[in-house]
Amino acid sequence: MADVLQQSYRQVLRDRRLAFLLGGDVISKIGDGMVIVALPLQTLRIHGRLNPAVAISLIEAAPYALAVAASLLFGLGRRRFRPRGLMLADCVLRSVVLVGLAALAMAGLLPLWALGTALFFGCGLRLTAASARRLIATQLAAPESRFSVNALLGVSDSLAAYAIGPVIGGVLAAAVSPAFVLLLDGASFLVLLAVLFIAVPPMSKRNTDGGAESGWSILRTVPTAGWLFLVVVLFNLFYMPVEVALPLLVRHDFGAPASTLGAIWTGFGIGALLGAAVTNQLRRLPQVGLLIAIIGGWAGCVLLLAAASGPLVAAIALAVGGLIYAPFTPVAYSLVQDLLDPARHQPVLTLWSAGTAVAAPVGLALSGPLVQVAGVRGGMLTSALLTIALVPAAIMSHRKRRNSGISQ
The sign one gets for the Cα dihedral 337, 339, 341, 347 is negative
The C-alpha atoms of residue 299 and residue 394 are separated, in whole angstroms, by 14
Rounded to two decimals, the pTM is: 0.69
Per-residue pLDDT of the chain (408 residues; tens, 9 = 90+): 444 445 667 777 777 888 889 889 999 999 988 988 899 999 999 998 888 888 888 898 888 778 878 877 777 777 777 888 889 999 999 999 999 999 999 999 999 999 999 999 999 888 888 888 888 887 787 666 777 787 788 777 767 777 788 889 888 998 899 999 999 999 999 999 999 998 888 765 544 444 567 777 887 787 777 777 887 888 888 988 998 889 888 888 888 887 788 888 878 878 887 887 787 777 667 777 788 888 899 999 999 999 988 899 999 999 999 899 888 877 777 777 777 777 777 788 777 777 777 777 788 788 888 888 888 899 999 999 999 888 876 676 566 555 544 444
Nearest to 14 by CA among 6, 22, 24: 22
CA distances from 92 to 135, 175, 193, 319, 320 (A): 20, 28, 7, 34, 36
Angle, alpha carbons 105-110-113 (nearest 5°): 140
DSSP 82: -
Amino acid letter, 307: A
| Contacts with 162 (C-beta within 8 Å, 6 or more apart), sequence order | 33, 36, 265, 266, 268, 269, 272, 273, 322
Alpha helix positions (H), 77-145: 83-106, 112-122, 126-140
